[in-house]
């Protein structure tokens, strides 16, 4: 008897249905059931074989990515496969990215309460369970949540909550496929509690670093004004995540919600039997996997939109760095009373979003700076030379990201972690305007790592080779790299408008103009700026700058010669303590900094820390440094300078 879905209305189907409805004592019924069970067993065996094959391919792919799945059992690896539709290569990349992320984000024993104390004090997260499905229940009281004052600490808090929730569902030994149930209670939420960025961060962490950990998510008491916010958040959610989210809107859904959670897990406030328990009051064994910790970035300025705060202007707001200015200002909760979005006449009239509001871009004029306390410039050297002094004359303190004023006497060239004293006496409220220069991106990334060593042993000579990403040439260069990559892969001639030559799958000497002595201007900047920032005209510096087909974040190989001996282990300890720097230096697994590790991150990563064997004793050292060119190499450094003006 053969059956398929196309026979649903056929006589054969009707006869088969009749046979299956007959009493179990009849031989034909038993035969059909046996056939069905055998087919199920064959299907199950085939599925298990497919899973084993996919797991084997996943492990092989992970090894090709210079990592290992050793110590991770089948349930853990299956989560990554399921999250990537059983594609072993994609699952392997996700697995390796996750391990790198944990190594850079989370201490070996997990994030302690002490590191997220400010967030815990709000009493907004409760931990209960198990639910009827056997999962731990994390309850978020959204009316007690406020947008984070410190983006990095908020991310740590998200990890703290997820790790602790998952750990609470582990029975004796972690299996690897433990899941959680989340409830977001939006009762009594107001506009001041709105935090779309926080929601997006939480869900993106779940999707990227905790794949298939979410069993279900319930949204309770959603007010009408929050619907548009939720629609925006959903743009960042994968389809599989959205399918697990239930918005409870009526009585029937509320009854179903309570039935699925179970009265034993629900707090009394939700008509359950459990006592409301804050997550910090739940004691658990330490279950976090072993990982390494980066240095935390420097303290943030406390912020709110307030009348007493300085007025801001962002010049070149539609460019790559201009957009990053807005992102960093938001992330660091920079205090402001008003903000002007300024750009060229061509961009005037465009709309840009900042801190939950939309602004119209204005054409840059001399009058644009009337009443402006701080102006962040990133519109190119010619614009800075034309408008920077005019703004300063009107009492505005200009933080300029171009090369226009870097080597001008009397203009501070500042990296806040390196030479904050250079801008001593310049403050908002003094009634005086000023010019402050942001160093070149390569200089910032290099000196963030080298300065702690220089202070200890004094650098005599420094040889730097840079490998610079498309982001250093602006948004248009980044777009052209993507376009060229598609064209080359399709067998078409690449479009070469920015660099005049193929960039995709190629590398070449930095596109800056060549000077008479053979150095290009990018290399000259690194030499001269290092001497000015260190206030040391005797230090010898040479550089070779290369453009590589990386979207974002620069890499630099740095060779150092010291006046005083500096042992390799001492250097490592100095770098561990340096603000804005963290170490990725695992020789066993051949894991060192990459541009991907630092993309969209504030800190600079350092690795390949080793004694220079070409020099006698401990007078030479080699290191490899990576940093986000747009972030620390430009926008973040400028905003940190602005913070020092307050």
Q: Is residue 554 flagged as an active site residue? A: yes
CB within 8 Å of 14: residues ≥ 6 apart: none
User: CA–CA separation, 380 vs 401, rounded Å?
Assistant: 8
**CA proximity to 345, closest of 333, 328, 361:** 361
CB within 8 Å of 300: residues ≥ 6 apart: 149, 150, 332, 333, 643
Kindly state the helix (H) or strand (E) to which residue 229 belongs, with its residue range: helix 227-234
Active-site entry in 126, 142, 217, 441: 441
DSSP SS3 for 165: helix
If you compute the radius of gyration of the chain from its CA atoms, what whole number of angstroms results? 29
User: CA–CA separation, 571 vs 133, rounded Å?
Assistant: 51
User: CA–CA separation, 163 vs 161, rounded Å?
Assistant: 6
Sheet of strand 434-437: strand arrangement: 362-363, 338-343, 311-315, 374-377, 397-400, 434-437
CB atoms within 10 A of CB 235: 7
User: CA–CA separation, 563 vs 108, rounded Å?
Assistant: 36
Burial class (CB in 10 A: 0-12, 13-18, 19+), 535: exposed
- Cβ contact 582:593 at 8 Å: no
| Reduced 3-state DSSP string for 575-636 | HHHCCCEEECCECCCCECCCHHHHCCCCCEEEEEEEECCCCCCCCEEEEEEEECCCHHHHHH
**CA proximity to 452, closest of 301, 538, 598, 560:** 560
CB within 8 Å of 413: residues ≥ 6 apart: 406, 407, 419, 422, 437, 439, 529, 532, 533
Per residue in 557-566, is it b (16+ CB within 10 Å) or e — as a string? ebbbbbeeeb
- Cβ contact 440:521 at 8 Å: no
CB within 8 Å of 437: residues ≥ 6 apart: 400, 404, 405, 406, 408, 411, 412, 413, 414
Using DSSP bridges, classify how beta strands 137-141 and 125-128 pair: parallel, antiparallel or unpaired: antiparallel
DSSP lists the bridge partners of residue 360 as: 351
The single-letter DSSP state of residue 514 is B
DSSP SS3 for 132: coil
- Cβ contact 180:213 at 8 Å: yes
Q: Is residue 510 flagged as an active site residue? A: no
User: CA–CA separation, 456 vs 618, rounded Å?
Assistant: 13
- Cβ contact 298:579 at 8 Å: yes
DSSP SS3 for 642: helix
Taking CA atoms, 114 is separated from 7, 71, 105, 298, 533, in Å, by: 65, 29, 16, 17, 36
Burial class (CB in 10 A: 0-12, 13-18, 19+), 614: exposed
Burial class (CB in 10 A: 0-12, 13-18, 19+), 24: exposed
Q: What backbone phi and psi angles, to 5 degrees, belong to 9?
A: -110, 10
Q: Which residues are catalytic?
A: 441, 554
């Amino acid at each position: 008897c053969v059956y398929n879905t196309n026979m649903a209305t056929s006589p054969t189907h009707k006869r088969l249905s009749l046979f299956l409805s007959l009493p179990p004592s009849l031989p034909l019924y038993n035969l059909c059931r046996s056939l069905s069970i055998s087919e199920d067993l064959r299907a199950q065996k085939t599925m298990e074989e497919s899973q084993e094959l996919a797991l084997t391919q996943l492990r092989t792919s992970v090894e090709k990515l210079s990592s290992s799945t050793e110590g991770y059992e089948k349930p853990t690896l299956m989560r990554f496969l399921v999250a990537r539709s059983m594609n072993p290569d994609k699952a392997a990349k996700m697995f390796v990215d996750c391990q790198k992320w944990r190594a850079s984000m989370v201490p070996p024993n997990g994030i302690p309460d002490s590191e997220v104390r400010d967030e815990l004090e709000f009493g907004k997260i409760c931990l209960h369970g198990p639910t009827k499905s056997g999962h731990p229940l994390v309850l978020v009281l959204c009316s007690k949540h406020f947008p984070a004052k410190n983006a990095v600490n908020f991310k740590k808090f998200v990890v703290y909550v997820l790790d602790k929730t998952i750990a609470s569902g582990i029975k004796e030994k972690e299996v690897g496929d433990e899941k959680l149930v989340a409830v977001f209670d939006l009762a009594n939420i107001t506009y001041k509690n709105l935090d779309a960025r926080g929601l997006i961060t939480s869900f993106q962490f779940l999707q990227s670093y905790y794949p298939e950990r979410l069993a279900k998510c319930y949204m309770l008491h959603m007010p009408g004004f929050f619907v548009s916010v939720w629609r925006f958040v959903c743009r960042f959610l994968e389809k599989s995540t959205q399918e697990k989210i239930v918005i409870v809107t009526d009585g029937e859904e509320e009854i179903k919600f309570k039935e699925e959670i179970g009265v034993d897990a629900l707090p009394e406030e939700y008509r359950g039997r459990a006592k409301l328990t804050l997550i910090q009051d739940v004691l658990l064994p330490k279950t976090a996997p072993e990982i390494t910790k980066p240095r935390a970035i420097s303290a943030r300025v406390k912020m709110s939109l307030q009348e007493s705060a300085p007025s801001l202007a962002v010049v070149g707001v539609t460019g790559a760095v201009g957009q990053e200015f807005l992102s960093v200002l938001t992330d660091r909760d920079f205090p402001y009373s008003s903000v002007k979005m300024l750009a060229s006449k061509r961009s005037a009239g465009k709309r840009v979003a900042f801190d939950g509001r939309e602004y119209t871009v204005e054409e840059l004029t001399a009058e644009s700076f009337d009443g402006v306390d701080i102006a962040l410039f990133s519109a190119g050297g010619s614009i800075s030379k034309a408008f920077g002094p005019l703004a300063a004359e009107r009492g505005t303190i200009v933080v300029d990201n171009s090369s226009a004023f870097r080597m001008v006497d009397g203009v501070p060239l500042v990296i806040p972690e390196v030479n904050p004293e250079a801008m001593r006496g310049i403050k908002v409220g003094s009634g005086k305007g000023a010019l402050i220069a942001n160093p070149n991106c390569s200089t910032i990334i290099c000196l963030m790592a080298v300065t702690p060593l220089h202070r200890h042993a004094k650098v005599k000579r420094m040889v730097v080779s840079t490998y610079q990403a498309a982001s250093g040439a602006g948004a248009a260069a980044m777009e052209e790299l993507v376009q060229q990559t598609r064209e080359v892969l399709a067998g078409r001639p690449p479009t070469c408008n920015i660099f005049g030559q193929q960039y995709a799958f190629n590398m070449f000497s930095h596109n800056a103009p060549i000077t008479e002595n053979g150095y290009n201007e990018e290399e000259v900047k690194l030499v001269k700026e290092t001497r000015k920032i260190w206030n040391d005209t005797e230090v010898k510096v040479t550089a070779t700058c290369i453009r590589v087909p990386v979207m974002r974040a620069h890499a630099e190989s740095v060779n150092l010669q010291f006046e005083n001996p500096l042992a390799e282990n001492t250097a490592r300890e100095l770098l561990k303590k340096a603000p804005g720097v963290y170490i990725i230096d695992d020789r066993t697994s051949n894991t060192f900094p990459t541009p991907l590790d630092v993309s969209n991150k504030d800190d600079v990563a350092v690795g390949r820390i080793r004694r220079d064997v070409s020099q006698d004793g401990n007078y030479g050292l080699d290191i490899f440094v990576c940093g986000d060119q747009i972030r620390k190499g430009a926008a973040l450094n400028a905003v940190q300078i602005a913070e020092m003006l307050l």
